[in-house]
Chains A and B, each alone.
Chain A
Amino acid sequence: MSLELRLAVVVAIVAGAALLGVVWRVTSGRSRRIRDGKQVDLAELGVLKNGKPVDEFGSRLTFLQFSSEFCSQCVQTARILGELESQSDDVLHIEVDITNRVDLANKYQVLQTPTTLILDRRGVVKSRIGGAPKTSTLETEIGSFEI
Chain B
Amino acid sequence: MPASQLAKFGPLLAIIVLTLLAAVVLSFSALATVAACWRQAAVPQLLELEDSSSAGPRQRFLQHNDTAESGQLALYALDSTLPFSSLTAWPLSEGVGPAAPFYASPQPFDSNYDGVVDHLFSIDFTGRVWLTGITAAGFGSTLLLADLASREWRFIGSLGVFEVSLPLLLRPSGLQGRHKLLLLIARNISNGEDAIVSLRLPADITAASLLRFDTLVDRSVLSATEREYGLSNEQWFSLLNGAGWWARLSGQLTQPPQVVAGVIYSAVATSDFSALECATEHAEHSLVAMHLHSAGLVYNQRRFLLASGVGKLTLQLQPDGTAALILNSVTEQHTALTELVSLSPDCLECTAPLRLDQFPRWLKLATYRQETGAH
Query: Are both chains from one complex?
Result: no
Q: Which residues of B come within 8 Å of A, CB atoms?
A: none
